[in-house]
Amino acid sequence: MTRSGPCDVHTVALNPAIDLTVGLSQLVPGEVARARSARHDPGGKGVNVASCLADWGTAVTIHGLLGLENAARFEALFAAKGISDAMVRLPQATRTNIKLLEEGGRTTDVNLPGFSASARDLAAVEASLAPLGAGALVAISGSQPQGLEDEASARLTAALTRRGARVVLDVSGAPLRAALARAPDALPFAIKPNRHELEACLRADLSRRADLVAAARGLVARGIGLVIVSLGTEGAIFLSAAAELQALPMALSQGSTVGAGDAMVAGVVAALAEGLGPEALAARATAFAVGKLRNAGPHLPEQGEIRALERAVAVRPLAEWLAQEPGA
């Protein structure tokens, strides 16, 4: 595997998780379910992003917080994939999140709150990111542990942005709202909410395409370089000052959808690191997400398969998608 990338690439996971994926024929709430299979994978958004980037051949360092009690599973992943480990250890256990995967691919996630962290722990993560400035690309992903202020990810983003790093931020809820409330010189370079997360953050109904696009354009006008909204089987929209695009994946395989969004973030980071233009970036990000569906755990298929998927992604002007409002 070739290592590539003129940029210095990093990810941040403040609240990683071991994903316990339980295979069931069907989930019926309130009834006893007999599991057909179970597997444990090191996960959490920042871990998944780092793992997919490493599979692609990008040299990557992971930062954030990790429970000392069950760190071995993560350390084994980092060692196997050559991921540089700069995570701060807490004398606790990393959470286990439950993924109930039914035949046909429908997944129900039960995400636990995880360990508690303090302002001092966040300061230790900030210290590990302190050397990063211009030339660095940093993906900050996932929820924040209990004990940290809603501002935690926004604060890391602001410091990195002010030093000239580009931050790709994939958080939701109050942490996303806090990051978007910042002054233009402290905003992330890119965000990737799904439609529901953007609606919750902006407290707006964005079910109509026109409203969704207007909201995304508003964020670009405020100074976010790249706004990506993921739309499940409808693909994703990509808006920047340079281009407005929709990328539509080919027929999807029926694997667990867990981590597909993280793979998309990894694809965005890989594309930015390689200096790809907007169309190629949209195709790369979508191919990573589709490729991830084919694999259990935080793993991408090999490069050749991703490049074939990339060629099969349909990227078109956003105006075409906008003109086809369902029910209009």
Q: Which residues bind ligand F6P (CB under 6 A)?
A: 15, 17, 19, 43-45, 48, 97, 111, 142-143, 258-259, 261-262
Q: How far is the CB of 53 from ligand F6P (least distance, A)?
A: 14
Q: 236, 261 in Cβ contact below 8 A?
A: no
Q: Which residue is nearest to ligand F6P (CB)?
A: 43
Q: 19, 50 in Cβ contact below 8 A?
A: no
**Nearer CB in complex with ligand F6P: 43/188:** 43
Q: 202, 227 in Cβ contact below 8 A?
A: no
Q: Is 262 a catalytic residue?
A: yes
Q: At what angle do helices 195-202 and 173-180 cross, to 10 degrees?
A: 60
Q: Please report how many Cα atoms fall inside a 13 Å half-sphere around the Cα of residue 82, on the Cβ side.
A: 11
Q: Which of 19, 55, 170, 262 is catalytic?
A: 262
d(CA 98, CA 107): 10
Q: How far is the CB of 257 from ligand F6P (least distance, A)?
A: 9
Name all contacts of 259-262 with Cβ < 8 Å and 24+ positions apart: 259/43, 259/48, 259/292, 259/297, 259/298, 260/289, 260/290, 260/292, 260/293, 261/45, 261/170, 261/192, 261/194, 261/230, 261/289, 262/45, 262/48, 262/49, 262/52, 262/141, 262/170, 262/292, 262/298
**Nearer CB in complex with ligand F6P: 53/245:** 53
Q: How far is the CB of 17 from ligand F6P (least distance, A)?
A: 4
**Nearer CB in complex with ligand F6P: 244/262:** 262
Pairing of strands 314-317, 244-248: antiparallel
Pairing of strands 95-102, 17-24: parallel
Q: How far is the CB of 109 from ligand F6P (least distance, A)?
A: 7
**Nearer CB in complex with ligand F6P: 215/260:** 260
**Nearer CB in complex with ligand F6P: 19/55:** 19
Q: How far is the CB of 265 from ligand F6P (least distance, A)?
A: 9
* Residues labelled catalytic: 262
